[in-house]
Amino acid sequence: MVHWKRTQESRTIEEGSQARDGLVAVGIFFNVVRRCHTEADRLILNYVSHTRRYLSVKNPAFVNPSLLLPADGRYYTYKGSKTTPPCNTNVIWVVYNTPTTICYRSYRVLMGLQSAEIGHPYLRMFGNDRPIQSKGIHNVKANFLQCD
């Protein structure tokens, strides 16, 4: 999930992606199971699979992002980059430690998504669209204690 800070200067995601702290990306790992029963499955199967149809809808679907996050709330955070061109390096990443669950049907919908960012051709959303980054991310923080 990508969020942008809407301000007087950045009213669109394109403008927000230029700001120093304009974008936050939330990453969640998924365990894929057979039965569809989670809030993520409901959202993916009812809305994400029909994204093109909903782009023109005046009353979009209600989404409570907290229902999509792992219950334990443990995450890592760091300053990184977008994963699609132009790969701006001003993204605050929040990556949850504990996977959540989706079913195989939902997984297939996500794998078929494409991104149509302004000024770029359709790109496979899940894949490596950015150049290889240098190894090691500095200043990774966690909101929980880690014991080795």
pLDDT in tens, 20-47: 777 899 999 999 999 999 999 998 888 7
pLDDT in tens, 95-108: 999 999 999 999 99
Q: What is the pTM of this model?
A: 0.74
Q: What is the CATH number of domain 2-142?
A: 3.10.200.10
* DSSP letter string, 15-63: HHTTSTT-EEEEE--EEEESS--SHHHHHHHHTGGGHHHHTT-SSPPP-
pLDDT in tens, 74-88: 999 998 887 776 777
Question: Domains of the chain: which residue ranges?
Answer: 2-142
**CB-count burial class (<10 Å; 0-12, 13-18, 19+) for 22:** buried
Arithmetic mean of pLDDT over the chain: 78
Q: Residue 47: its pLDDT value, please? A: 79
